[in-house]
Structure 1
Amino acid sequence: MPVLDFRSILEIWRNAGIFDIILPFLLIFALVFAILEKSKILGSNRAVYAIISLAISFFSISNPYLTPFFAILFANAALGFAVLLVFVLLLGMFTAKDGKNGWIWVGMLFGIVIFFWVLGRSINDAGLQPLVYEFFYANPVLWSTVIYGGAILAVIVLVVVMVPHGDETPGETLKKLFTPR
């Protein structure tokens, strides 16, 4: 009678496609559903959110480029979360309780750096550099559109933020916007 240990079970699951298909499908479904539910962009009908999430999940796992990329991305994301957890633990141990507001921004900046590190590492490990290069660098029209669109978006955001809301001055609005709660 063969011995069935944990590594054998993981190998059976790997061969069955649990890690390549099922888990990425479930994770993408959960993320898309949560984003749609939180944003309430299509009302409050959860059935519509479920159908849209299912469709996006099926499309994403059926793409031959995305399936191995997701496997690599999730492995690197776990590594990034571990690094971020260690950073947050060290930050909590060595900072004063009253001076936390400045360190929140440092933690957020570190989280953004970890996000781009995980994304770059995943693109590199999946071998998608030529695709990314062709999309971003070999397309000059894209960059002019991004620059002009970003400038227009920045102006719109500044106008919306600077317009006084009720009895607030623009300075109070900015202070309220950037003060951590």
Structure 2
Amino acid sequence: MVEQSVFRGTIDFFGRLGIYDVILPFLLVFTIVFAILEKTKIFGMEEIEGKKYPRKNLDAMVAFVIAFFVIASSKLVEVITQVSSQVVILLLLSILFLMLVGSFHKETPEGFFLPGGWNTTFMIIMFVGIIAIFLNAIKTEGGQSWLSFIMDFINTKWNTDWVASLIL
């Protein structure tokens, strides 16, 4: 039998400790909610020495509470874990695609950007991919993902008149 490496043992220990099921989802939700609250300035601004700043104390408290509510639900943590792992794969694919496309273009001082409509097309493809990832992560009561439920529904109703009228 092959011995485990020290790193594999450490990762297994972190899993038993709850790093992946509790701490990392908490930090992810807290960070995203806090950033959104800071950016939108929902709780207003406070003035300190003549400068205006967002109310970080309120933003942090609300983000903290929301993150705790999220990790209290094991279903939400499961969705977050599945979605984040698949979004990382989508991000990796997009970076590899851009590296491939960039290797065939000349280098400019501004860098490389997809020209014209290709940028919009790429963003739409990424958005559809993220929607598909979320639909695949959310399950019905029977354990079937929403994405497979929608695909099964479309497959069984594909020959009906209303689907043809929607396509037109």
- Deviation readout 1:121-144 (Å, 9 max, x if unpaired): 3235xx4647xx7xxxxxxxxxxx
In structure 1, the gaps of 5 or more residues are: 134-181
Larger CA deviation: 107-116 vs 97-106: 97-106
The SS at the match of 1:100 is coil
Take 2:12 and 2:135, find their aligned partners in 1: how far apart are those partners? Answer: 28
> 2:91 is matched with which residue?
81
- TM-score, structure 2 normalization: 0.66
Aligned residues: 130
> 1:70 is matched with which residue?
80
Which of 117, 124, 140 pairs up with 2:132?
A: 117
* CA RMSD in angstroms, aligned pairs only: 2.9
Would the aligned equivalents of 1:88 and 1:107 in 2 still touch at CA under 8 Å?
A: no
Aligned-residue sequence identity (percent) comes to: 30
* Structure 1 residues 5 and 99: alpha-carbon distance in aligned structure 2, compared to 1, 3 A threshold: closer
> 1:22 is matched with which residue?
23
Take 1:45 and 1:86, find their aligned partners in 2: how far apart are those partners? Answer: 39
Give the residue type in structure 2 aligned to 1:110.
I
Give the residue type in structure 1 aligned to 2:33.
V
> 1:47 is matched with which residue?
57
In structure 2, the gaps of 5 or more residues are: 45-53, 107-111, 150-168
Take 1:80 and 1:110, find their aligned partners in 2: how far apart are those partners? Answer: 10
- Following TM superposition, by how much is the alpha carbon of 1:94 offset from its aligned partner in structure 2, in angstroms? 4.3
The SS at the match of 1:42 is coil
| Greater per-residue helix proportion | 1
Give the residue type in structure 1 aligned to 2:128.
V
The SS at the match of 1:47 is helix
- Deviation readout 1:14-49 (Å, 9 max, x if unpaired): 000001110000010000001111111221101100
